[in-house]
Structure 1
Amino acid sequence: MSRYDYDSFWNTLKRGFMRIPPVIRTIIAINVIVFLLMIFAGQLIVNVFGFNPDPFTALTQPWRIVTYMFVHGGAFHLIFNMLWLWWMGRTVEETIGPRSFSVIYFGAGIGGALLQIALASIVGSNIVIGASGAVLGTLVAFAYLFPTTPIMLLFLPPIEARFFVAGLVALDVLLIGAGDNIARLVHLGGAGTGYLLVKMHYEGYDLSSFIRPIEQMFKGKGTKSKKKKRQKNKDMYAVADVEIMEEKDADELDEILEKISKKGYDGLTKEEKQKLFELSKRN
């Protein structure tokens, strides 16, 4: 293989990775980095960042309720979770926007952990790792937004997304207490939380409102030493994950976003896609 072919392969791989929606791209990158670190300090990372459902530990070490989603027990555990996230999650993120998607993904992971805490006295307090709860919540969101989309699996006929995801959830219910060392309750808590959050979005609740205060907090810290902040245009109007400067465009953008939430991005006409692109690029 020539050097040109080698460079071409990695450049192609890089371009493909950069086309993944930003939140999913970041989640995959962090998971891979943590997995590589686990080669050298696996048990230490599990002990520090894994989720312990013991109520006292959860209360005194709250970071675990998030960090456990980035720790995986093996290569296949990581690969399958990230493949599912990339396969179905990218459409969800492109449809509802990165902020709202972040709320669903991390909300599902946290919801799964909370259910495990609530039932720790019954199922025990073993350390939990992996993004499966968050990923299953994302799959539920996909099935809610695109219920009849066919899911293609090897050796099986096409299955509509709603039936496929319902089957995964039912499998977790049936295998509770099977002793297979899989946190079924985290899966179910993630699925339930994902459903509630995507339903809130579909009914008009702005999930991105959970993220904006966090963004403003970090932006405020990062701009203290910089030059005076530019005054915000009084006519600015914010809708979901897009900010536009002219109030007259707000109604048209609302209609486009509503159509995306019901039919997906592919349901837009060519003119609507162009309009959405133009509005998203304005400062």
Structure 2
Amino acid sequence: MAYDSFGSSVKRGFLAMPVAIRAIIGINTAIFFAQILSSFIGISLIQWFAFVPDPITVVTQPWRLFTYMFTHSLLNPFHFIFNMLWLWWMGRPVEETIGAHSFFSIYLGAGLIGALIDVIVSLLGVPNPVIGASGAVYGVMVAFAMLYPRTPIMLLLLPPLEARYVVTGIIALDVLLLNSGGNVARFVHLGGALGGYGLMKFRQKGGDISLIPRYFDYLYSTHLSKILSPLFALLNVSVKTNKDGRGVKSSMHSWRANQTQSNRNRTATRRGTASNTAGVSDAEILEEVEQSELDTILDKISKSGYNALSKQEKKTLFELSKRKEP
């Protein structure tokens, strides 16, 4: 029973994540477990997924520019765990502010720029293979600090510090340790931070950083859905095509539909027992009102996107989502 309860809690927590973060953490986790399974038969996925900062390898095996940021070493599982925790912790408010498509761009763009900078630096020395989401996560951290610079962050044994100081301190530490040796790809970290900063600045000036992810959404909805649907089903990311071939239904909308149906079931149950009781409580009525308000906001997001919400609607969405976390 305890195991079932824990498993259900993990599943609810995973499904409550924003769409992009859920997909990114899901892919990282799937690859990590695939590495574990493949190691039993003597196959190393790192051999195929790691990024080698060499111009020839970049040209002949370009997929490594992206696969490395979803791959971690089995010898250091804490690298994987902490990257995913930081991604979830700092990434959630970022995605809720800029949207899933733009968040994908920050993650992938920061990781890509970090890898390319490492190529340039490696021309001066011996190129070492790189794995890990750290460069991409650095980009997300910078995005968080730019959006919420004064948000206090609690660190171990330290008083609360504003996000801008914490992120600046982490980056400064990487700069100070550039010549310290070891297996830490610090230039990838710094390149990722630079990539996140550049993309956010471009967005702040009115640029559209969601263009490429939206194109892949279109590509998926028109051509790739039959091929990739089984994979996304495993990750609980549901994507469906409308009749015009352009509509995309994300897992957030599926979550909304499930929440709405669940709420209707609860309401029907309460109405069915109303004749035997004095009526529903104030708390139950408030819950139904809040659920209705949340449904209205999520419907607006599905039709017009997150940016179409007013400031009050964004605030309401954030507050209601926090209350409904398991």
Q: Structure 1 length as normaliser, TM-score? A: 0.79
Change in 2 beyond 3 A, CA 1:227/1:117: closer
Tell me the equivalent position of 2:48. 48
The reply to whether residue 71 of structure 1 matches residue 59 of structure 2 is no
Distance in 2 (CA, whole Å) between partners of 1:232 and 1:88 is 31
Identity %: 49
The reply to whether residue 17 of structure 1 matches residue 31 of structure 2 is no
User: 146, 168, 171: which is aligned to 2:170?
Assistant: 168
Distance in 2 (CA, whole Å) between partners of 1:85 and 1:147 is 17
The reply to whether residue 6 of structure 1 matches residue 8 of structure 2 is no
Greater C-alpha Rg? 2
Tell me the equivalent position of 2:24. 27
1:54-133 matches, within 5 Å, as 54-73=54-73, 74-133=76-135
Matched to 2:216, the amino acid is I
Any unmatched runs of 5+ in structure 1?
234-240, 278-283
What stretches of structure 1 move > 4 A for 4+ residues in a row? 252-255
Distance in 2 (CA, whole Å) between partners of 1:139 and 1:188 is 12
Distance in 1 (CA, whole Å) between partners of 2:218 and 2:79 is 35
Change in 2 beyond 3 A, CA 1:153/1:184: same
1:111-158 superposed Cα distances (whole Å, 9 cap, x missing partner): 000001112112421100000000010000000000000010121100
Tell me the equivalent position of 1:281. none
Change in 2 beyond 3 A, CA 1:122/1:223: closer
Distance in 2 (CA, whole Å) between partners of 1:26 and 1:253 is 21
Deviation at 1:227?
Answer: 11
SS in 1 for 2:181: coil
User: 210, 222, 225: which is aligned to 1:208?
Assistant: 210
Q: Structure 2 length as normaliser, TM-score? A: 0.69
Change in 2 beyond 3 A, CA 1:127/1:253: closer
Change in 2 beyond 3 A, CA 1:25/1:227: closer
Matched to 1:85, the amino acid is L
Q: Is the CA contact 2:98–2:307 (under 8 Å) kept in the aligned structure 1?
A: no
Distance in 2 (CA, whole Å) between partners of 1:222 and 1:185 is 35
SS in 2 for 1:163: helix
Distance in 1 (CA, whole Å) between partners of 2:173 and 2:95 is 26
Distance in 1 (CA, whole Å) between partners of 2:49 and 2:68 is 6
1:76-105 superposed Cα distances (whole Å, 9 cap, x missing partner): 110110110011011101111100000001
Distance in 2 (CA, whole Å) between partners of 1:213 and 1:242 is 19
Matched to 1:60, the amino acid is T
1:128-167 matches, within 5 Å, as 128-167=130-169
The reply to whether residue 229 of structure 1 matches residue 243 of structure 2 is yes
Q: Is the CA contact 2:70–2:132 (under 8 Å) kept in the aligned structure 1?
A: yes
Any unmatched runs of 5+ in structure 2?
227-239, 248-299, 322-326
Change in 2 beyond 3 A, CA 1:165/1:123: farther
Change in 2 beyond 3 A, CA 1:50/1:201: same
Distance in 1 (CA, whole Å) between partners of 2:213 and 2:182 is 36
Distance in 1 (CA, whole Å) between partners of 2:225 and 2:25 is 28
Tell me the equivalent position of 1:188. 190
Distance in 2 (CA, whole Å) between partners of 1:80 and 1:173 is 20
Distance in 2 (CA, whole Å) between partners of 1:76 and 1:116 is 23
Deviation at 1:177?
Answer: 2.3
Change in 2 beyond 3 A, CA 1:30/1:232: closer
RMSD, matched Cα: 3.0
Deviation at 1:200?
Answer: 1.7
Q: Is the CA contact 2:142–2:197 (under 8 Å) kept in the aligned structure 1?
A: yes
Deviation at 1:44?
Answer: 2.0
Aligned residues: 249
Distance in 1 (CA, whole Å) between partners of 2:139 and 2:56 is 26
